[in-house]
Amino acid sequence: MAQKRELQDRYFRQAKREGYVARSAYKLLEINKRRKLIRKSDRVLDLGCAPGSWLQVAEKIVGEDGLVVGIDLQRVTTEYGPNVHLIEGDFTKVSASDLLGGGDELFDVVISDMAPSTTGHGDHFFSERLCQEIINALPDLLKPRGTCTMKVLEGETFPHLIKRMKHCFRISGAIKPDACRDVSRETYLYGIGFRPSRVIQYDERNEGELPEPVPGWGD
């Protein structure tokens, strides 16, 4: 047990040393190292960006010529450079035009570390629904051949989500970064080579009805 706690504390201490606001930064760093989803000069959208560690990682990768937009229900207080723009709100209720800054240039990458506010019962259903909503929104946000990664809590609906990702992206899969806690069911889906014409609205009649999400989304 002590060894497990030491592993978790290591990422916490490392985040403090390196200036990241949360240990979750190392999840995105590992995903990007393994799959190269974010590149220099990219336009990146971070859905559910609080407390802001993924924004920090994306900002460093894209550099001065890139752009990072983050949206969250909670206010993000971390300071960033001029190429990081923050929106306070619910991404499911904010228009694609507002997320794009009023322009028509789509993002190269969409990332999400969101998870549902946990209830202890059926959390994976809420998590999968959230991921389905992200996929539904991608045609208005992500460029063709773009990349995406998002967190999901594994459960019995997980195979349906994997199947849909494989349909909508040329390459897709799942990664559980080392920084994830051992006891957590969280994993990260990734997609490379977005195919927007293959995105159709999720049909609950085909996969079984899912419960309505609880208000608010947690990190």
- With CA atoms as reference, report the closest residue to 111 among 158, 153, 54, 192: 54
| Alpha-carbon torsion (88, 91, 94, 95), positive or negative | positive
Q: Which CATH number do you get for residue 70?
A: 3.40.50.150
Q: What pLDDT was estimated at residue 115?
A: 82
| Angle of CA points 39, 43, 46, to nearest 5° | 100
Q: What pLDDT was estimated at residue 122?
A: 66
Q: What pLDDT was estimated at residue 217?
A: 43
As a whole number of angstroms, the distance between CA 61 and CA 38 comes to 7
Share of the chain above pLDDT 90, in %: 76
Q: What pLDDT was estimated at residue 121?
A: 60
Domain limits for position 83: 2-218
Q: Is the pLDDT of residue 173 over 60?
A: yes
Catalytic residue among 4, 16, 60, 151: 151
- Contact yes or no for 47/86 (Cβ under 8 A): no
Q: Which of 111-120, 139-148, 190-199 has the lowest mean pLDDT?
A: 111-120
Phi, psi angle pair for 171, to nearest 5°: -130, 135
SS (H, E, C) 12-54: HHHHHHHCCCCCCHHHHHHHHHHHCCCCCCCEEEEECCCCCHH
Using CA atoms, how far residue 100 sits from 67, 74, 173, 182, in Å, is 11, 20, 27, 36
- β-strands 186-194, 169-175: how paired? antiparallel
Residue-wise over 159-195: b if at least 16 C-beta within 10 A, else e? ebbeebbeebbeebeeebbebbeeeebbebbbbbebb
Inter-axis angle of helices 25-35 and 2-18, nearest 10: 90
As a whole number of angstroms, the distance between CA 151 and CA 167 comes to 18
Residue 169: strand pairing partners:
194
If DSSP codes are grouped into helix, strand and coil, which group holds residue 194?
Answer: strand
Mean pLDDT value of segment 140-167 = 95
Q: What pLDDT was estimated at residue 104?
A: 92
Q: What pLDDT was estimated at residue 6?
A: 53
Phi, psi angle pair for 213, to nearest 5°: -70, 150
Task: Sort 30 into a burial class: Cβ within 10 Å, 0-12 / 13-18 / 19+.
Answer: middle
Instruction: State pLDDT tens for residues 96-122.
Output: 999 999 999 999 999 999 987 766 666
Task: Count up the domains in the chain and report the number.
Answer: 1
As a whole number of angstroms, the distance between CA 58 and CA 8 comes to 23
120 torsion bin: left (phi>0), alpha (psi -120 to 50), beta (else): left
For this structure, is 151 an active site residue? Answer: yes
